[in-house]
Amino acid sequence: MTLTAVIQGIMRRELQLAFRRRAELLNPLLFFLIVVSLFPIGVTPELARLSEMAVGVLWVTALLANLLSLDLLFRSDFDDGSLEQQLMANVPASLLVLVKVVTHWLVTGLPLTLMSPMLSLMLALPSEAIPLLMLTLALGTLTLSLLGGIGAALTVGLRKGGLLLTVLIMPLFVPVIIFGTGAVSAFIDQLPWLGHLALLAAMVTGSLVLAPLVTVLALEIAVED
């Protein structure tokens, strides 16, 4: 089989497994929608104040929504024993992990990004900033999935590793949020914003290269234990 066929096969399997767990698939999206929708009720209905807080609210809520599904990234494969077989297969383990993480982003991070314009208008975010918000969320959620894969691999052997997963990877998420929100806020305030976006893109690139390798090491340790 060619490398392209292997990647397509892995991605097809991951998508099929994801859509069989529809409730787990919808949880992050519903969480994102409900929290952002309730924010004007719980804080303030004033459009001026909502506009000031919109970027931070959307980014933090997207982060928390992403965390809801990270614990399940390798859990089912570990529980049924197929994860060990996958790591021993004649496929680069880092490629396997990368495809799994990208698939996770396709069913979680990408839908969150596509939902953001509607919720942005609800929070009175200036319409001209919405394309940049979507771009930063797309890059940011992909980075969150890649970094979150490391934490998911470290806690995959624990029965209740969700809380530990959050503690482990939350410090890694902070720079992503800072540069993601910073780019959109600077754009709205008519300040230089390309530097924030460039740093966010650099974090995505670095995560694409390094995160799968670290995740594989963590998975191998978990499987051996």
Domain count, the chain: 1
Tokens encoding 85:
């077989």
pTM, two decimal places: 0.88
Please report which helix (H) or strand (E) contains residue 70, including its range: helix 47-70
30 HSE (CA, 13 A, CB side): 6
Distance CA 34, CA 36 (A): 6
pLDDT tens-digit profile, the chain (225 residues): 577 777 788 788 888 877 777 777 788 889 999 999 888 888 777 888 888 888 999 999 988 888 888 877 887 777 777 777 777 777 788 888 898 899 989 988 999 999 999 999 888 899 899 999 999 999 999 999 999 888 888 888 776 656 777 788 888 889 999 999 999 999 999 999 999 999 999 999 999 999 999 999 988 887 776
- The alpha-helical segments, DSSP class H, found in the chain are 3-20, 22-42, 47-70, 75-79, 82-88, 93-107, 109-122, 130-154, 162-188, 194-224
Please give the radius of gyration of the chain, using alpha carbons only, rounded to the nearest integer: 18
Q: Give the domain extent around 166.
A: 3-224
Tokens encoding 89:
């297969």
Tokens encoding 96:
């396997």
